[in-house]
Chain A
Amino acid sequence: MTTTPITQGLVCPVPHRESERVLLGHGSGGKLSAALLRDRFLPHLANPALAALGDAALVVVRGNELAVSTDTFVVSPIEFPGGNIGSLAVHGTLNDLAMMGAEPICLSAGFILEEGLPFDVLERVVAAMGAAARAVGVPVVTGDTKVVERGKADRMFINTTGLGLRRAGGGPAPDKARPGDRVLVSGPIGRHGMAIMAEREGIGFESKIESDSAALWPLVQPLLERLGPDLHVLRDPTRGGVASALNEIAAASRVGVTLEDGVIPVPAAVAAACEMLGLDPLYVANEGIFTAFVAAERAEEALGLVRSHPLGAEAAIIGQVTNDHPGFVILRTGLGGTRVVDLLPGDQLPRIC
């Protein structure tokens, strides 16, 4: 068999230009998102409360710590197994407050509706929103509605802003992780993202995967009360998944995180869907779980407390914090090997290989 000798040596495209426009990846919660925030927003909006980049901002008002969090929900499809954009909009913002250790007080809700949206769809979304808010006793006290022309909004976008109150003395924060801390996850991972993926046109598989969208304050409050300052960090791993959340904390706290492969809870259906598409559950979005960094000596106690609540029945300790490899999240595989769990540049893409 004759072949052409491989003599072309170094062949490569012209180096990739910086993107001059916003890409979908900028919204994925990975490196592009971080860069967008750092390069496009912070330079113009800098202030100490923002710079902390917590799940909610803390503003001191005459001696009280007020927590403020805002989130805009653009999920598509707007209705999915386990919820809709309305319930998600309530849970998401309330959870951001909860992650700062703030008791939620009230919410606002702003709607952008696409011309032509059927009323029965709107009805279902707002009903779910109301039910979610009532379930945790947090009223939606103010709101706004705008309508845009057909094609300018993917059916509906919702922004919710939440106000919470935090007791003096501080609370969990992303930079408080310490070597020796145990990393706890309150439930199985990957449900929300795969529930959404199942509905996507062109991917579509039948599954019993339901979004885990839920308000976490009822689970977080007893944990805060019992553990006090031994509860170092709380974070809900939304877009970008557990991997992204842990990377952000490792960076903020300047510590290393080591995870054990075998103990991370992944529902069988989520694992199967990820296998099918070549996705890693560690990067899939969640809307009803949190990760917690707890002082080592209180970890078992924390686990017991979380597990005693229905939402936390499958909680597990999945790793710990170390002095080694600061800023890196490392996974120990069942075979005794290790690998780095890094931030992805943008969204995970289904692969064929």
Chain B
Amino acid sequence: MKYLTEYRDPVVARALLARIKSTATRRWVLMEVCGGQTHTIVKQGLDELLEDAVEMIHGPGCPVCVTPLEQIDKALQVAARPDVIFTSFGDMLRVPGSDCDLLQVRARGGQVRIVYSPLDAVELARKNPDKQVVFFAVGFETTAPANAMAVWRARQLGVRNFSVLVSHVTVPPAMCAMLDAPDNRVQGFLAAGHVCTVMGWREYEPIAARYRVPIVVTGFEPLDILEGICLAVAQLEAGRHEVENQYVRAVRRDGTVPARHLVEEVFQLVDRKWRGIGEIPRSGLGLRAEYADFDAEIRFGLTEVTQEESGECRAGDVLRGQLKPFQCPAFGTRCTPERPLGAPMVSSEGACAAYYNYGRFRQAHAVSGTTP
């Protein structure tokens, strides 16, 4: 596939790896923000190949993982209603709420459907006028334009039986929260390429300046990740702390302006709780008052259910990079993808799931001292 598979070229990858290793005079600590980048790193064994030059800490870049428990519980509540068809992206279906998950709601008789695009949910509402169609609007800034358009389109077409349950989060406040933490070890960032495709990179410039960290906007293929790391290491070695764009084929400084405009029209910044991390002020998106009639929380009077989150899931520590998944005492034993204790093990993008599925074998060898 053009503009995709060329960025997996092993010859170029090996050259980039060699360049990173010869440039680094010490072991630097970088964080890749996005779950898709984590996926590539673990799937290709890049962290293993980079070992001495760079330590990659996996950031909270999985919107599925960080969706707060309260929002999952609201989703479960509304999905169980017989008059509702609940629609969602596929990866939300296995995330555990306080009691169960969407797949189990479906097993108990709820109508739960996977959609690829939010517009499919609007179409479903048009075709089923006697039902309420609710769409679980989850994601980072990348997905906000799509979700905003679904709401806008529903209004434009007069589709009144459509509503959205919103749980959007934004990246920059999370990065700052990471950097503000007293135990922060991250020295540079690979910023999320598709978030920046939409938003541009202007809002990262003050972060780089204030915290003196290089931020490289990076894509998702192996060559993108390696090139991004190469640029970040070069900056760190030279004592620079700028925003740089590796993902030039898709990202411009101002992003995609029409997308940002519609997002601003439909959504507003709100305080948002991140599962495993806590509340980060003005780090989420919620519907503006003018679009409140599409808000599922209002339409269905979804009660705030605050649960005591207790247990041994170290999701918070993993998401903040304080703990590698295999260092968690429950990893692979009491917490597995089939019986997850926390979201990072459920989501196919979660760091724990990635490690479980791809890396567990290597760690077993590391522990036993054998060579994989």
Contacts and interface: CB of A to CB of B under 8 A. Distances in A.
Interface of A: 1-19, 21-25, 31-32, 35, 202-204, 268, 271-272, 275, 277-278, 324-325, 328, 330, 333-340, 342, 344-346, 349-353
Contacts of B315: 11-12
B342 A13 contact: yes
A72 to B, nearest CB: 19
Nearest to B50: A337
B176 A335 contact: no
Nearest to B139: A352
Nearest to B282: A1
Given A13-B97, A202-B120, A203-B116, A338 B42 contact: no
22 contacts: A3-B173, A3-B176, A6-B181, A6-B320, A10-B312, A12-B311, A12-B342, A13-B307, A14-B310, A15-B339, A16-B341, A18-B339, A24-B106, A32-B338, A203-B116, A278-B348, A335-B10, A339-B358, A340-B357, A353-B34, A353-B91, A353-B347
A147 to B, nearest CB: 24
Given A3-B173, A18-B339, A353-B39, 10 more contacts: A8-B278, A13-B69, A14-B98, A16-B101, A19-B104, A325-B372, A330-B372, A336-B10, A336-B45, A339-B42
A190 to B, nearest CB: 15
B173 to A, nearest CB: 7
A34 to B, nearest CB: 10
| In the complex, the 9 A-B pairs of residues with the closest C-beta atoms, listed nearest first | A337-B45, A12-B313, A349-B90, A350-B90, A345-B338, A339-B358, A334-B10, A353-B349, A12-B311
A11 B275 contact: yes
Contacts of A336: 10, 14, 45, 49
Interface string B235-253: 0000000000000000000
B106 A353 contact: no
Contacts of B44: 333, 335, 337, 339
A202 B340 contact: no
A22 B372 contact: no
Interface string B350-370: 000000111111100000000
Interface string B90-119: 110110111111011011100001111000
A275 B48 CA distance: 24
B190 interface: no
A2 B97 CA distance: 30
A11 B91 CA distance: 21
B84 interface: no
A11 B313 contact: yes
Most B CB within 10 A of own CB, among A13, A31, A275, A344: A13
B116 to A, nearest CB: 5
B337 A13 contact: no
Nearest to A349: B90
A340 B340 contact: no
Contacts of B35: 353
Give chain A's interface secondary structure class.
loop
Contact of A24 (B10, B103, B139): B103
Interface of B: 1, 4, 8, 10, 13-14, 17, 34-36, 39, 42-46, 48-49, 61-64, 69, 87, 89-91, 93-94, 96-101, 103-104, 106-108, 113-116, 120, 124, 138-139, 143, 173, 176-177, 180-181, 222, 275-281, 307, 309-317, 320, 334, 336-342, 347-349, 356-362, 372
Contacts of B338: 31-32, 35, 345-346
Contacts of B49: 335-337
Contacts of B115: 202-203
Nearest to B174: A3
A324 B120 CA distance: 47
Contact of A16 (B39, B91, B96, B143): B96
A342 B90 contact: no
Contacts of A19: 104, 107
B45 A339 contact: yes
Given A335-B10, A337-B49, A353-B347, A8 B307 contact: no
Contacts of B275: 11
B107 A22 contact: yes
Contacts of B90: 277, 349-352
B359 A340 contact: yes
Contacts of B359: 339-340
B312 A12 contact: yes
B48 A15 contact: no
B107 A21 contact: yes
Nearest to A1: B176
A277 B348 CA distance: 13
B191 to A, nearest CB: 15
Contact of A13 (B42, B98, B113): B98
Given A334-B10, A349-B348, A352-B89, A11 B309 contact: yes
Contacts of A2: 281
A148 B173 CA distance: 56
B313 A13 contact: yes
B100 A17 contact: yes
B43 A339 contact: yes
Given A10-B317, A335-B45, A353-B347, A5 B114 contact: no
Nearest to A205: B116
Contacts of B103: 23-25, 346
Contacts of B98: 13-14
A268 B1 CA distance: 8
Given A31-B338, A352-B139, A4 B278 contact: yes
A345 B107 CA distance: 16
Contacts of A352: 63, 89-91, 138-139, 143
Contacts of A333: 43-45
